[in-house]
Structures are given as C-alpha cells and as structure tokens.
C-alpha cells in the first residue's frame, strides 16, 4: 500500500492583483509612516496629497478605492472637468490646487478647491479675495515661497516672503494655513525645507507642504505636514498630454 504524498498547502493570494495605482499608494504610505517614526513624529501628522495632474479620472478612482482622499491638480480647467463627478459620490474628497494660478482663474479655483497652495503675489491675493466675496467661500491658502529664488519658477522671492506672509495673514486670517515650496532640481532639498519650516514658525503657521516623489522622506524628517506625490503613485505622465 503506497503512502499518499503530502498535500501542498494552498499559496497565499498574490498581492499583484491590486491595481498598480493602489499598490503604489500603499507602498508610499508605508514609506511615509516609516519616515515619520524615524523622525520621532506621529505618522498621522503627515498627510499625503496624491498629485493626479494629467492622469484620468479612472486613476483617481483607483486611488480613492484604496482610501486616498486628498488629491492635487495643477490646472484649474482640468480639475473642474475631473473632480465634480468624483466628489458627487465621495463627499469627503479634498482637492488641492498646487500649480501656478492665473488671476483670471481665481474664481473657478475658489469654487472648486479646498486648498490653494500657490498664493505668491499681491495681484493673486486681490483676485482670490474678490472671488471669495463673490462665491461666499474661501479655500484654505498656502503661500508658495520660491526658496531657491529661481527666475523660471512661481513663488514669492525669499526677500519678499516675510512681508507678503504678514500681509496675507492680516487679509485672510485663519484661511492662511501655511507655506509651500519646491526646492531647485539637482540641489540638496534639506536646506530649503529647513528655511520653509523656520519661516512658518516665525509666522505661527502650522501647515508645511514640501516634499515630492523624490524627496518626501527628507521633507517629513524636516517637519512636512503635507507631501505631494504624483509619479510614484500614478506612474509617468500619459504620453498624449
């Protein structure tokens, strides 16, 4: 009588069944949590802004299915087309506008955004103020600081930042929540993150939006409360854009 061969236990379900966006999102969250703990911070104090610019609504839906609720867009027109249908089914979705904002887009931005991260000049402050009065709402605001004083970039220059922040605090009150920066490409981002943190501390602001796909762990170590991650979640920009 032959002895039957032992049965091989069934393999665990493979994780590759998750959509790519969801798998990448979970990996980014794990790295964020680890970076926060390594810095002695509570991971709950750092929020992820999933930058979905140029990606279709289906990609946003995949991230939403994995629990993501805060998204970042560069273009007001794209955001206005993409997000109202998503928000209709998911009321707690939050939209941040993170790109340079033209004054003629201010009213549309005020209508759709929960936070505008790119307040960087008096003319835009005027346009947002008028739009808020017309719409009866004001999104949260961040002042974007050009920490590298790069001529080709948006953001208030460093030497003008303190004065501009004070003026915006007087004008917008509690709606001005904090600061944002994009360090120069190819440079160590840490000095720029430290500069932004120091500015925020001087003005009593508690929101720091800094760090992207390549450097968000360093930003968390320097006090970021918002990190903006796009390509590491959604992949390369679609070639048709």
pLDDT interval class at 19 (50, 70, 90): confident
Q: Does domain 19-234 have CATH number 3.40.50.720?
A: no
Tokens of 169: 């605090």
Helices (H), 6-96: 20-38, 57-65, 76-89
Average pLDDT, the chain: 92
Q: Do residues 25 and 68 make contact, with C-beta atoms less than 8 angstroms apart?
A: yes
Q: Provide the terminal-to-terminal Cα distance of the chain, rounded to the nearest Å.
A: 69
**Per-domain boundaries in the chain:** 19-234
For 24-42, what is each residue's pLDDT tens digit?
999 999 999 999 999 999 9
Q: Would you say 45 and 36 are in contact if contact means Cβ atoms under 8 Å apart?
A: yes
| pLDDT 10s digits, 136-166 | 999 999 999 999 999 999 999 999 999 999 9
pTM of this prediction exceeds 0.85 = yes
pLDDT at residue 43, rounded to an integer: 98
Q: Is the pLDDT of residue 240 over 80?
A: no
């Amino acid at each position: 009588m032959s002895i039957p061969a032992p049965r091989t236990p069934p393999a665990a379900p493979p994780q590759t069944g998750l959509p790519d966006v969801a798998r990448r999102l979970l990996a980014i969250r794990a790295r964020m949590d680890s970076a926060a703990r390594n810095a002695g911070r509570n991971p709950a104090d750092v929020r992820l802004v999933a930058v979905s610019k140029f990606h279709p609504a289906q990609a946003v839906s995949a991230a939403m299915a994995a629990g993501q609720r805060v998204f970042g867009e560069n273009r007001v027109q794209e955001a206005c087309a993409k997000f109202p249908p998503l928000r209709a089914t998911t009321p707690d979705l939050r939209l941040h506008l993170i790109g340079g904002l033209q004054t003629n887009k201010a009213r549309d931005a005020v209508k759709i955004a929960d936070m505008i991260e790119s307040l960087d000049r008096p003319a835009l402050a005027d346009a947002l103020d008028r739009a808020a009065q017309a719409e009866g709402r004001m999104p949260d605001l961040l002042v974007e600081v050009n920490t590298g004083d790069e001529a080709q970039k948006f953001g208030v220059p460093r030497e003008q930042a303190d004065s501009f922040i004070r003026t915006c605090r007087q004008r917008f009150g509690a709606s001005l929540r904090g600061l944002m920066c994009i360090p120069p490409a190819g440079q160590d981002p840490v000095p720029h993150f430290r500069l932004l943190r120091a500015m925020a501390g001087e003005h009593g602001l508690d929101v720091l939006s800094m760090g992207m796909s390549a450097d968000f762990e360093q930003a968390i170590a320097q006090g970021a409360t918002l990190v903006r991650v796009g390509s590491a979640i959604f992949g390369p920009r679609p070639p048709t854009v």
